[in-house]
Chain A
């Protein structure tokens, strides 16, 4: 392709770290765009990216979060398309990005299926994953779409509640639009102005959802449910305490919904929760959420 440089947007910083890692390995230049607010709440990942040789741009436009990071990365790409490739971080954006990202992520569901068949001799009953743009969820769901008996549940960020102005629950509150190169659901007003969304989780703090998720919702194949900050934080602490696994605050949204539905499922049922990221990056933010000021 003749590209010597990669750029990426990042919310929580996981995709930025991954892109910076690959660029370091391949000897490519790497620049990552991240909302200024996210560089503060995910400071550990900013330092990781810089350690890996990437340049991190703190985006100060708009809400200074993931949506604005995507805007700035798109602008940068049009500025230097001749030598730069955009490594988009979710199953979103213009075609063929949603398909490219899905095809790389679908290994998650294929692994789940293979391991489940090997260990249990059957498919799981329920799959759960958090959804911002929706890459980890699409990765988990994709190989199961034809297995109609498997419930697919995507967990959206409801922030301070779906009835408040501070959430990022696109399926719950959004309407059809065309933005960031895709036709999908977006949180927006009646004039198509994109809403300033909110979530405690930088990775889910995005006003849209990948178009293939919109389709799974429309055809009734997958369910999308809202999970609040409070529920996610509680699940973050619960999984850490009970299992010794500190999940990313994004993934904790899926854990929270699993906790909600588990009591009604029956003991013979099998649920799979995708822990899409590790929670080290979130420890300081969760401490602050609980009113503990730790020196990060």
Chain B
């Protein structure tokens, strides 16, 4: 049974994101279980990329830091394997196509299964190109998460129809970490999705406070936050586990009341 379905089963889901290896992989291995204990429904682990074109400057800098420190895809797989021994929280990798393709797409997905990853999020692979990933995801039982931005109704329907696990919606047109309030438009997008398919919808990109999380979870099934957490990692470094745990707990508590 895929863990993803459970993430949205009985409550609004909170999905925190961290960049693997920031500030180092030992801390990553502590952060993920801590976030799970604090009530995270699913944890997104970013595999750093030299050119993260879907991220804002906060996560881009985290990617630079962790790559400079020597984090590699192989080290991340080993680390996730140890994380999986400590927690059953659903885990998603978020990365770009080039690290997957260059690693060998099949080998990458086989390793995902081997270390206990449940889902894969690849923002630079559009709907039209997903055949690069879908056959291997199916073969190794990894859910490929589809992403939506505000676009034409036809396109939303097309993406929703084939979406699996949950659907990721950008909260504002644009890249991670640059927030703007567009809730009416978001609600319209989610309505179109639900007409097409009953699938949980999570909204990410740019959420940093409990108030924003509440607002978003009123219209969505889940909320994610990346930059806000990565900022804590940047500020606290090796001492980030408790501040991140507290932040996650505060958002989980806020959205649980919705």
Contact = CB atoms under 8 A, between A and B. Distances in A.
A188 B99 CA distance: 10
A80 B96 CA distance: 22
Interface in B76-103: 96-103
A188 B173 contact: no
B124 interface: yes
Interface in B46-68: 49-51, 53-54, 57, 60, 64, 67
Nearest to B150: A82
Contacts of B212: none
B99 A61 contact: no
B235 interface: no
Q: Using C-beta atoms within 8 Å of the partner chain, give the interface range for chain B.
A: 20 to 34
A187 to B, nearest CB: 11
B102 A175 contact: yes
B72 A191 contact: yes
Interface of A: 61-62, 67-68, 71, 74-75, 78-82, 94, 175-181, 183, 186, 188, 190-194
A177 B100 CA distance: 9
Q: Taking chain A's interface residues, is the majority helix, strand, or loop, or is none over half, making it mixed?
A: mixed
B50 A193 contact: yes
Interface of B: 49-51, 53-54, 57, 60, 64, 67, 72-74, 96-103, 124, 126, 132, 149, 173-175, 178
B102 A191 contact: yes
B51 A71 contact: yes
A159 B53 CA distance: 26
Given A80-B173, A81-B173, A82-B173, A191 B51 contact: no
Contacts of B132: 178
Q: Which of B67, B72, B73, B102 has the most CB of A within 10 A?
A: B102
Contacts of B149: 78
B57 A192 contact: no
A61 B60 contact: yes
B49 A79 contact: no
Contacts of A81: 173
